[in-house]
Amino acid sequence: MSLEWFDRVCGELQDYMESICEEYDEMGHITVDRAAKHPRIECFVEMEDNEREFFCTLFFDPHNEEFYMEAFDLETEQTSRTLLPDIEDIIEAVHESFHDFLDEFELVDEIEVEEEDEEDTILLEDDADLMDDLEDEDYEEIIVDVEWTTPEVMAYTYLDEVEVSYQFGVIHDTGDGILRRVNRIKTEDNELLEDESNFIFSKEEAGTIIELIENNMETMDGFDM
């Protein structure tokens, strides 16, 4: 197993993104977790209140020496993995996730993708072989098998209008834990809206996450404040 490819991308990704995207140059940042079972790069925007909004997470499989992204399929209730074999795939994935984030949070009125001059698109001359096909988006999709070890557990309800539930599972091929969050909201028209998200973490991270929550519970406000 080797982290050479991971370290190389960590050292160059920020420069790549800043050179091809003006908005990212002004707002985008990355943080690196090298100690996890599957090291990862997390991309985020720092908001006005100094809170970080994460918009993209790149995982690295050290055994196969490849990057991948994960997403939860609401229909199949399984996690899909998108392999990112080359640096152009990684940049394209981060760039697309960043602009999806901007559109979702309405941080810009209109996003225009501008083509850079040929001189600007050659980001590293000595690594030109890694950047010869930026328009290739033929990623390989793999369905990740999740074993749900608990039923859906109600976390809280509020005025019969909001309901939040959680479910815990384990990803077979990595052994990582996954928390599935289901948020149900009843509208004024009595329509039920449902939103699902998932959070993946390694066993090594679990203790830290639990400790952070326990040590900061008193600083949080609830509905009955």
> Of residues 10 and 225, which shows the higher confidence score?
10
The confidence score (pLDDT) of residue 43 equals 92
Which pLDDT score is estimated for 103? 84
Evaluate if residue 124 carries a pLDDT over 60: no
- Cβ neighbors of 33 (< 8 A, separation 6 or more) are 39, 40, 42
| Cα–Cα distance for residue pair 104/10, rounded to 1 Å | 26
| Sequence-separated (6 or more) residues with CB below 8 Å from residue 12 | 87, 123, 124, 127
Fold of the CATH domain 146-218: Nuclear Transport Factor 2; Chain: A, (3.10.450)
Burial 152-169 (b: 16+ CB within 10 A, else e): eeeeeeeeeeebebebeb
Tell me what the mean pLDDT of segment 139-144 comes to. 48
pLDDT higher than 90, residue 174: no
pTM for the model stands at: 0.48
d(CA 197, CA 186): 18
Neighbours of 22 (CB within 10 A): 12
Q: pLDDT digits over 39-77, tens only?
A: 999 999 988 777 888 999 999 998 888 999 988 777 777
Domain(s) of CATH 3.10.450: residues in the chain: 146-218
CA–CA separation, 45 and 133 (whole Å):
27
